Amino acid sequence: MYLLVFLFVFFIWCYKSHASKRYMRHAVRNLQGPFAIPLLGCIQEISRLRPKNITSSVASMFAKYGKLMKLWAFNRLLIVSADIEFNEQILASPTHITKVAVYNMLHPWLGIGLLTSDGKKWHTRRKIITPTFHFKILEEFLEVFDHQSTILLQCLEKKADGRSTIDIYPLICLFTLYVIVETAMGTKVNAQTSKSCQYASAVHEMTELLAMRFVRLHLNNELVFTILHPFKKLRQTQLIQIMHNFTKSVIEERRILLQQNQHKSLHAEDNGDMGCKKRSAFLDVLLQATVNGQPLSDEDIREEVDTFMFEGHDTTASALSFTLHLLARHPRVQNKILAEVQQICGNSEDPLTLMNLNEMKYLECVIRESLRLYPSVPIFGRQFKEDFAYTHSTLGDGVIPAGSELYIWSTLVLRDPKRYPNPSEFVPERFEDVDEKINLSTSPFSAGPRNCIGQKFAMYEMKITLMKIVRTFELLPLGEDVQPIPNIVMCSENGMQLGLRKRKA
């Protein structure tokens, strides 16, 4: 009797749950996608997804169903896109800026900061933080970029025997961590200490763990993850604690310094032991900001610092490492960079200026081409809180219904053969004459209201670093080719391998 009652109630629940999505199914009837079983969705496709095969699997589905397709994951409607025409419309929208629900898995680590928030909170934080990336402040950071890249060269020189294969990523990762701590946070730490190495390793392990959870949809739920994988849950908690302890120490050190300087003159503060005030603009702004007359709480500050510590070092490390790996396999491109640097700087060892860096057009093309092949953020998404009406030259007018989740596959968008001939080849010259107005959906930094706030910071940091490395070393095609994996940040399963040989003076 009880079993019959349970089955009856379960049947009614299933019927109502399926019926509640009737409008959504009708709205996307013009889109193709894998066969979906009621309530279970495309279980036959989803169950096979893993971080290592997800890009190839999605590419196969795009080839079969089109570059804008629907995918039912249990009772969730996912819109998966590599369609440039559609992407340009959604990225330009000032309304549809909410991140997809899977970003909730980042909350224990990053809180609800600039990356994961939306609505009024996102607008308020963006307004507070945007001035910290003004070009005058960025110019103050060039000295740090230059100094720390010189230290990086000294580390690389020990390995530059022209024979040994090295994985460049760990060294670059520690370098970018040091840069973000000293520039944006205003704190000097030795990136070679065990504490900072532990933080960088924890970030890498955490992104791998979250990537596994992203593709196994049942593990999106924290309770289900805890029950099914208690040891992984424990490890996740340990990693978060390591990262939070590091960022809390950075915040506390800067807070103490500000308190010590609050009665001193601006000149004294600008010439203090920790560096000038402008170099710590981001964290100083957070420590001194108010919202409705109230200062930001310690938790508010921590979630923004955690966000920028992660995004400010890991994404740049990925971009730099992939670029160096590609340069090692393309000596022609290395030589063109050298020629450009020689033309702009000559043999001068004077500090670089923003004008110098802005003149390095070919180097910028190299970075953009590397990011096209291996975008630091391979996938990003939006949650539709209300219907989104779009137009399309092939599909016609359509509506993506409220409640849907959109996933834009930038790794495939940026290898679209219609936009980029020979898309798998490394050809920086393709960016020498690009109309930025039609490049909205193909920017590796995203676009529209939620574009990367630190993209100019990252570009200048990469330009200085690459210019100095190529000027000092010949990059050699030693080791294995990369095996990219689209974790939260693009990485390579076997690292980024190459060889180095000191150039003759």
Sequence length of the chain is 505
Q: Express each pLDDT in 177-232 by its tens digit.
A: 889 888 888 777 654 455 667 888 899 899 999 989 988 888 988 999 999 999 99
Q: At what angle do helices 194-215 and 169-183 cross, to 10 degrees?
A: 110
Name all contacts of 224-227 with Cβ < 8 Å and 24+ positions apart: none
- Cα–Cα dist 271/273, whole Å: 7
Q: CA-based diameter of the chain, in Å?
A: 89
Q: Express each pLDDT in 318-328 by its tens digit.
A: 999 999 999 99
Question: How are beta strands 76-81 and 405-409 bridged, if at all?
Answer: parallel
Q: Please list the residues that pair with 166 across neighbouring strands.
A: 498
Task: Examine the pLDDT at 281 and tell me if it is beyond 70.
Answer: no
Residue with tokens 């009880």: 2
- Cα–Cα dist 235/205, whole Å: 10
**pLDDT value of position 192:** 46
Task: Examine the pLDDT at 6 and tell me if it is beyond 60.
Answer: yes
Provide the percentage of residues in the chain whose pLDDT is more than 70.
Answer: 90
Task: Examine the pLDDT at 83 and tell me if it is beyond 80.
Answer: yes
CA 335, 337, 338: angle at the middle one, nearest 5? 65
**pLDDT value of position 298:** 84
When pLDDT is averaged across residues 4-32 and rounded to a whole number, the result is: 79
The alpha helices in 329-454, defined as continuous H runs, are: 331-345, 354-359, 361-373, 410-413
Residue among 136, 186, 150 at smallest CA distance from 309 = 186
Residue among 154, 198, 144 at smallest CA distance from 176 = 144
Provide the percentage of residues in the chain whose pLDDT is more than 90.
Answer: 45
Instruction: Give the chain's end-to-end CA distance (angstroms, integer).
Output: 89
Residue among 25, 62, 117, 39 at smallest CA distance from 449 = 117
- Cα–Cα dist 362/264, whole Å: 45
33 Cβ neighbours under 8 A, 6+ residues apart: 42, 61, 65, 69, 70, 71, 72
Please spell the DSSP secondary structure of 199-238, one letter per residue. HHHHHHHHHHHHHHHHHSGGGGSHHHHHHH-HHHHHHHHH
Mean residue pLDDT across the chain? 86
- Cα–Cα dist 374/315, whole Å: 11
**pLDDT value of position 235:** 96
Higher pLDDT, 311 or 206: 206
Q: Express each pLDDT in 331-388 by its tens digit.
A: 999 999 999 999 998 777 777 888 899 999 999 999 999 999 999 999 888 999 999 9
Can you say how many angstroms the Cα of residue 135 is from the centroid of all Cα atoms in its chain?
22
For 50, the token pair is: 């893993």
Question: How are beta strands 166-167 and 497-502 bridged, if at all?
Answer: antiparallel
